[in-house]
Amino acid sequence: MHNQDLDTQLRQITESERFYLNNPGKISPKYKNINKKNVNGQQVYRFEHPRVSQTEIEISKDSRFTSVPLHTHTNVNMNYIYSGSCTYVVDGKEITLNQNDVCIFDTDVIRSKKTIGENDIVINISLSNSFFSNYFLSRLTQQNILAGFILTAISATRQHDNYLIFNTQNSQKIRELFIFTMEEYGSDNLYSRELIDSYLSIIFIELLRIFHANKNKQTIQLSTDKTGEIISIISYIEKNYLTCSLTTLAEKFNYHPKYLSHLIKEKTGKSFKEIQLLQRMKVAATYLTNSAYPIHEIAEKVGFYNKNSFYEKFREHFGMTPKLYRDSNHHG
């Protein structure tokens, strides 16, 4: 399928959309068959995706010309704005996403959606909870504390009420990746599923890059302020791993050092020193892979002035010596 074919297909009027065009303001009769639950005195629809437990991924287009009342989903839900815009209401707060923006809702996020028009194409990707946790967390968190924390925040919290908003500044790379994903989903080509898995993984990596590139950190919003602040703290540690200490970090974020130490450990499962060390190891590995610097210089560049200490920590982290790591991964 070519991009133009996909665009034409997405803009076709579906049976559901025809109902809404012919019955302005009415909700579909299908809502009669959707289970509801009472949350704080409000009736909330619970959208179920039974096929996702088998297929792990389900991609569909949201119906236009209608709003969606308060609801949750039984699976982690990612929405991509292919065209136009879409406004969600979460906890009484309006969140408007524009073309190429992305949002990810955990299973217990109660939200409604305002009416979308003809040019507002919203792509809905339902991911099985096990797929989201096992596939993405295992791929993205091995070397990146920040990525791990962000993704764990939405997939492993007890309440499951976190959500992420990525304002991509109309990223064309994000657009291409979603188009590739949708084209593969609509085909029965060999290895389509493997390609879809890979595209989704790359999409998450690109979203994390967008997060890193945005100094004001406006690209991610979570339902708990403390969680959002921890993301800023971890990001600061990763950028200033050579110079920051727990004391200077506490001063910057207006916390007592002891309280901040406890907060970081509670929210990430790792201490300040562990996060700092992981970042040093990550940067060292990048130097070993992509540069010709001698190993003792790399050790100094990442803050180790005792070569034996560097070798010991590196072996603990990677299970091999720096030289063996370089020989196994060197790109230049």
The pLDDT profile of the chain, 332 residues, written as one tens digit per residue, is 567 899 999 999 999 999 999 999 999 999 999 999 998 888 999 999 888 877 889 999 999 999 999 999 988 899 999 999 999 999 888 999 999 999 988 888 899 999 999 999 999 999 887 776 666 655 665 556 656 656 665 555 556 667 888 888 889 999 999 999 999 998 888 999 899 989 998 998 888 788 777 645 444 555 555 666 787 888 889 889 999 999 999 999 999 999 999 988 887 778 999 999 989 998 999 899 999 999 999 999 999 999 999 999 999 988 999 999 999 886 55
| Distance of alpha carbon 13 from alpha carbon 18, whole angstroms | 6
Structural domains for the chain: 3-213 (2.60.120.810), 225-329 (1.10.10.60)
